[in-house]
Amino acid sequence: MTLSIGIAGIAGRMGRLLVEEVEAAGASLAGGLRRGDDPRPLFEASEVVIDFTHAHSAARHAALAAETGRGLVLGTSGLSAEDEAAVADAAERAPIVYAANFAPGVNLVIALAERLAAALPAEHYDAEILEMHHRQKVDAPSGTAIAIGRAVARGRGTTLEEAGRESGRDGHTGPRRTGSIGFAALRGGQVVGEHTLLFAAGAEHIALTHRSFDRRAYATGAVRAALWLKGRPPGLYSMRDVLGLA
> Looking at the predicted structure, is the pLDDT value of residue 1 above 70?
no
Q: What is the mean pLDDT of residues 227-240?
A: 96
- Could you tell me if 184 and 223 lie in one domain? no
Residues 50 and 115 in one domain: no
Q: In terms of domains, do 89 and 149 share one?
A: no
pLDDT digits (tens, 9 = 90+) for 57-87: 999 999 999 999 999 999 988 889 999 999 9
pLDDT value, residue 76 = 86
pLDDT, mean over the chain: 95
What is the pairing mode between strands 48-51 and 4-8? Answer: parallel
Query: Tell me, what's the pLDDT at 170?
Result: 87
Domain total of the chain: 2
pLDDT of 90 strictly over 90: yes
Rounded percentage of the chain residues whose pLDDT exceeds 90: 89
Indicate if 171 and 235 belong to the same structural domain: no
User: 136 is in which domain, residue-wise?
Assistant: 104-212
Query: Are 70 and 44 found together in one domain?
Result: yes
In the 3-class helix/strand/coil scheme, how is 216-243 assigned residue by residue? Answer: HHHHHHHHHHHHHHCCCCCEEECHHHHC
pLDDT-based confidence at residue 178 (cuts at 50, 70, 90): very high
- Return the pLDDT at 64: 97
d(CA 57, CA 48) in angstroms, rounded, equals 16
80 and 156 within one domain: no
User: SS3 of 175, please?
Assistant: coil
- The CATH code of the domain that includes 229 is 3.40.50.720
Give 171: exposed, middle or buried? Use CB within 10 Å, 0-12, 13-18, 19+: exposed
- Please give the average per-residue pLDDT across 162-187, as a whole number: 93
Residues 101-157 have pLDDT tens digits of 999 999 999 999 999 999 999 999 999 999 999 999 988 999 899 999 999 999 999
pTM, 2 dp? 0.83
CB 79, CB 236: distance < 8 Å: no
pLDDT at position 78: 81
Q: What is the mean pLDDT of residues 2-19?
A: 95
d(CA 236, CA 132) in angstroms, rounded, equals 28
Q: Nearest-CA neighbor of 55 among 80, 24, 27, 30? A: 80
- pLDDT at residue 45 is higher than 90: yes
- Say whether pLDDT at 11 is over 70: yes
**219/202 same-domain check:** no
DSSP 4-73: EEEEETTTSHHHHHHHHHHHHTT-EEEEEE-TT--SHHHHHH-SEEEE-S-HHHHHHHHHHHHHHT-EEE
- Positions marked catalytic: 133, 137
Of 178, 175, 188, the C-alpha closest to 140 is 188
> What would the mean pLDDT of 33-53 be, rounded to a whole number?
95
